[in-house]
């Protein structure tokens, strides 16, 4: 579960792959937008990046601070509905609204983090379910939150960032990428700061952490707030940058589980793991679907085919977790290490 502190961001060892991060950024900011089709940018990469961000949010809480939560979907909905409220009721420009709604979600997270003083582990997870169901109820019950729309759906009038229209697939992609990169950079530094180290100390043993003078309760609640900030921003992006509209159903309990699976599969307590996990969760079913459509459509019964795809996906999850219980990030890392020592031992 723990990981070396020097390189939480990199999948591959530092010394041989110093240029790895700049290369990824170069590809992300220049190569992909120039070469990617609308389908890839708008329908694959945007949701992938947003889910990575949501995973990152939960990972800060669960992987670094050791507090379990099943309320991710609820916090994402707070971000989405807060952004909508700020833009529609308050006339706040989108980038500011995103930031503010992140802060509002952080406040909500702080509130729901309060019980973590007395409740631990699985019990905390169950209490976080309260957040999930509370927000689902809240945003359904009071029409003010969705501006009395007959369908309970929220949509933003125009997607513009500092006057620029970002509603094209490239615009959506770049907006998401900028936000995700900035927040990932912040998280990578945060977990190496004193705060991050305090979180890990609490995760590994909270009594010992208290003994060495870490204010356990305050640090835990802070983790809830920071994690919720990330989830709130991810929720707003999911609603307005990816889907274009959202209702509470977009942020149900299934979303919470999806985010939880992302960090379990990607790697609990790792930054890069969120991206790998999100890729696994969001891209693999599509890949299986593409292959299955290509090979069997028309030959095999459609219902059976869909269920087989589900089964294959489940099997792959089990297979990967059996092979590497610490998640795919660890698997990639050891593979990278082997590669650097290549002629000697592969």
Partner 1 sequence: MKRLTLTALLAATFAGTALVSPAAYADGKEQYVPLPTYRVGPYASSGTLWWAGEIDYLRYINDVEGGINGVKLKVEEFETEWSPDRTVEVYERVKNGKDGAPVAFFFTHGTPATYALTERSAKDKISLIDPAGGQPEATNGLVFSYVFPLLLNYYSQASVGINYIAQKEGGFDKLKGKKIVTVYHDSAYGRATQPAVTVLAKKYGFEDVQIPVADPGNEQSPQWRQVREIKPDWVFLRTWGVSTPVAIKTAARFGIPADHIIGDVWAGSEADVIPAGAAATGYQALAPYPGGPEFEIHNRLRKTILEAGKSDLKDPKFFGAVYYNIGLINAALAVEALRVGQAKFGNRPLNGEEGHWAFEHLTIDDARLKQIGFYGLLQSIKLSPADHEGGGAARIQQWDGKKWVLVTDWIQADHALLRPLIEEKSAAYAKEHNITPRTLAGEN
Nearer to partner 1, 194 or 307 (CB): 307
* Residue from 16, 249, 340, 341 binding partner 1 (CB under 8 A): 249
The footprint of partner 1 on residues 212-241 (CB under 8 A) is none
| 160 interacts with partner 1 by CB under 8 A | no
Contact flags string 124-153 toward partner 1, x per CB under 8 A: ----------------xx-----x-xxxxx
Pick the binder of partner 1 from 84, 229, 242, 332 (CB under 8 A): 242
Q: Which range binds partner 1 by CB under 8 A, 95-103, 183-191, 245-253, 266-274?
A: 245-253
Query: Does 295 participate in binding partner 1 (rule CB under 8 A)?
Result: yes
Of the ranges 27-35, 54-62, 115-123, 290-298, which one interacts with partner 1 (CB under 8 A)? 290-298
Residue 48 contacts residue 187 (beta carbons within 8 Å): no
8 Å CB contact between 70 and 253: yes
Q: What is the DSSP string of 97-116?
A: HHHHHHHHHHHHHHHHHGGG
H/E run at residue 187: helix 169-190
**Which residue's structure tokens are 């028309």?**
298
Please give the angle made by the CA atoms of 93, 40 and 77, to the nearest 5 degrees: 40
Q: Which is nearer to partner 1, 185 or 335 (CB)?
A: 335
Query: Residue 291, interface with partner 1 (CB under 8 A)?
Result: yes
- In 3-state terms, what secondary structure has residue 245? strand
**Shortest Cβ 238–partner 1 spacing (Å):** 8
Q: What is the C-alpha to C-alpha distance for residues 346 and 333, in angstroms, rounded to an integer?
A: 14
Distances (CA, A) of 158 to 94, 98, 127, 241, 244: 9, 14, 37, 11, 10
Phi first, then psi: give them for residue 69, nearest 5 degrees: -155, 140
Residue count, binding to partner 1 (CB under 8 A)? 41
Sign for the CA dihedral angle at 135, 139, 141, 145 comes to positive
**Contact flag: residue 250 with partner 1 (CB under 8 A):** yes
Closer Cβ to partner 1, 118 or 310, answer by number:
310
Q: How many CB atoms lie within 10 A of CB 215?
A: 13
Binding site for partner 1 (CB under 8 A): 38-39, 42-44, 47, 88, 140-141, 147, 149-153, 155, 157-158, 167, 242-247, 249-250, 286, 289, 291, 293-297, 302-303, 306-307, 309-310
């Amino acid at each position: 579960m723990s990981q070396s502190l020097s390189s939480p961001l990199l999948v591959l060892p530092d010394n041989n792959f110093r240029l790895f991060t700049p290369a990824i950024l170069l590809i992300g900011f220049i190569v992909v937008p120039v070469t990617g089709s609308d389908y890839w940018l708008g329908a694959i990469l945007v949701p992938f990046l947003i889910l990575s961000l949501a995973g990152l949010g939960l990972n800060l809480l669960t992987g670094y601070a050791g507090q379990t939560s099943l309320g991710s979907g609820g916090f994402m909905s707070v971000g989405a509905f807060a952004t909508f409220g700020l833009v529609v009721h308050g006339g706040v420009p989108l980038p500011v609204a995103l930031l503010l709604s992140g802060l509002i979600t952080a406040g909500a997270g702080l509130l729901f983090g309060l019980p973590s003083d007395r409740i631990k582990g699985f019990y905390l997870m169950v209490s976080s379910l309260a957040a999930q169901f509370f927000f689902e109820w809240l945003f359904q019950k009071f029409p003010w939150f969705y501006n009395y729309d007959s369908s309970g759906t929220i949509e933003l009038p125009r997607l513009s960032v500092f006057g620029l229209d970002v509603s094209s697939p490239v615009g959506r992609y770049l907006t998401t990428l900028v936000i995700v990169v900035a927040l990932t950079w912040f998280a990578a530094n945060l977990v190496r700061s004193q705060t991050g180290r305090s979180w890990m100390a609490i995760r590994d043993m909270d009594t010992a952490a208290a003994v060495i003078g870490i204010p356990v309760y305050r640090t835990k609640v802070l983790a809830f707030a920071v994690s919720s900030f990330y989830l709130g921003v991810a929720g707003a992006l999911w609603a307005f940058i990816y889907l274009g509209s959202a209702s509470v159903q977009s942020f149900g309990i299934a979303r919470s589980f999806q985010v939880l699976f992302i960090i379990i599969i990607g790697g609990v307590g790792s930054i890069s793991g969120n991206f790998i996990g999100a890729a696994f969760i969001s891209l693999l079913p599509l890949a299986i679907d593409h292959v299955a459509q290509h090979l069997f459509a028309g030959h095999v019964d459609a219902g059976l085919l869909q269920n087989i795809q589900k089964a294959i996906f489940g099997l792959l999850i089990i297979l990967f977790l059996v092979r590497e219980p610490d998640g795919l990030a660890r698997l990639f890392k050891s593979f990278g290490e082997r590669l650097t020592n290549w002629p000697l031992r592969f």
